[in-house]
């Protein structure tokens, strides 16, 4: 494009926002005095670039931008009407949907039902399950980065799971499955609020790849969610994945080659026990996982996909 676009969006998912900021445009993040959810701006320990710019909420109406990228229903249903002018709301609009439907799995109508908005799903599974109505849709799969210097060692004969607020999110994120596996095996949990489940707490984003690299395997106990960035990051480092054979994960992990998937939690216990006892098999599966993740989720492909979307909607 002739110049970088100025894109208004909201900080909803930190890691995703960081990866999205690798697209060479300017991202304007609204902030309020409380740094409340969705208005936290350049929050956290991520190394934000100069193209990520905070804008006070009360200055949005006089701020110039080319496109609006919604990332949750709060911004779509309330934020745009409270903070933006009518003329701004007529700018090109994209809605980025991070999750599968939370009500009925197949018959939930997406909150956007507008032929003039582009609905972007992060997985084909999510696009399949949502009823998108009249809204045109595309799928842009995740792109992630891990430091090249970080390599899997698997020296700890333990598994690791990364789930934020697992105690509060419960069965949907697999609290009971995690507890069943941990009752038999050495499994650690990290993430926001993980202490409530006997976990180790939150690990800062820049430190997480090295932290993961020492574990023998990655446990993904989630029943119903999108494809977790932490699972992809673990695969890129070289951890084999043991997880539930649900949602998009079944297209990512090659069962028996880059990990072990099953719908029976006891089968996950058995698979994890085998890998914890056999570091050579775990390393071989992890090498396959690393290859597959780097082929499918490279940041360059992700950036190119978003470049095309922004160009199309603005054009």
% of the chain at pLDDT higher than 70 = 100
Burial 15-53 (b: 16+ CB within 10 A, else e): bbbbbbbebebbbbbbbeeeeeebbbbbebebebeebbe
pLDDT of residue 89: 95
What average pLDDT does range 174-202 have in this prediction?
A: 97
What average pLDDT does range 13-30 have in this prediction?
A: 96
What is the CB neighbour count within 10 angstroms for residue 290? 21
pLDDT tens per residue, range 209-231 = 999 999 999 999 999 999 999 99
Torsion of CA 85, 87, 93, 95, to 10 degrees: 20
Q: What span, in angstroms and rounded, lies between the C-alpha atoms of 80 and 68?
A: 9
Residues 6+ apart with CB under 8 A from 113: 132, 133, 134, 135
Return mean pLDDT, the chain.
96
State pTM to two decimals. 0.95
What average pLDDT does range 221-245 have in this prediction?
A: 97
Residues 6+ apart with CB under 8 A from 242: 159, 217, 218, 219, 220, 259, 260, 261, 268, 271, 272, 275
Residue 310: strand, helix, or coil: helix
pLDDT tens per residue, range 283-293 = 999 999 999 99
What average pLDDT does range 278-286 have in this prediction?
A: 98
pLDDT of residue 95: 98
pLDDT tens per residue, range 93-139 = 999 999 999 999 999 999 999 999 999 999 999 999 999 999 999 99
For residue 37, what pLDDT band results from cuts at 50, 70 and 90? confident
pLDDT tens per residue, range 44-60 = 889 999 999 999 999 99
């Amino acid at each position: 494009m002739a110049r970088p676009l100025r894109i208004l969006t909201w900080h909803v998912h930190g890691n995703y926002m960081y990866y999205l900021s690798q697209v060479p445009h300017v991202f304007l993040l609204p902030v309020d005095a409380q740094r409340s959810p969705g208005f936290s701006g350049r929050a956290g320990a991520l190394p934000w670039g100069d193209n990520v710019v905070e804008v006070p909420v009360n200055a949005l109406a006089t701020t110039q931008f080319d496109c609006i990228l919604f990332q949750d229903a709060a911004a779509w249903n309330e934020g745009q009407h409270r903070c933006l002018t009518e003329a701004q709301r007529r700018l090109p609009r994209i809605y980025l949907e991070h999750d599968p439907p939370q009500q009925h799995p197949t018959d939930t109508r997406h909150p956007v039902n507008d032929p003039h908005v582009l609905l972007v799903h992060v997985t084909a599974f999510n696009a399949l399950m949502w009823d998108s109505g009249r809204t045109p849709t595309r799928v842009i799969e995740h792109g992630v980065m891990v430091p090249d210097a970080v390599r899997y060692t698997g020296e700890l004969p333990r598994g690791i799971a990364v789930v934020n607020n697992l105690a509060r999110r419960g069965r949907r994120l697999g609290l009971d499955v995690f507890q069943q596996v941990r009752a038999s095996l050495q499994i650690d949990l990290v993430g926001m609020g993980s202490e409530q489940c006997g976990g180790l707490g939150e690990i800062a984003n820049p430190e997480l790849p090295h932290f993961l690299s020492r574990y023998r395997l990655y446990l993904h106990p989630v029943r119903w969610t999108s494809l977790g960035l932490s699972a992809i990051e673990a695969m890129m480092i070289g951890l084999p994945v043991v997880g539930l054979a649900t949602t998009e994960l079944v297209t990512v992990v090659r069962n028996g080659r880059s990990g072990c998937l099953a719908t029976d939690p006891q089968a996950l216990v058995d698979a994890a026990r085998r890998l914890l006892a056999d570091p050579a098999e775990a390393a071989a599966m992890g090498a396959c996982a690393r290859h597959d993740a780097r082929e499918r989720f490279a940041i360059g492909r992700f950036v190119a996909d978003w470049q095309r979307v922004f160009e199309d909607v603005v054009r």
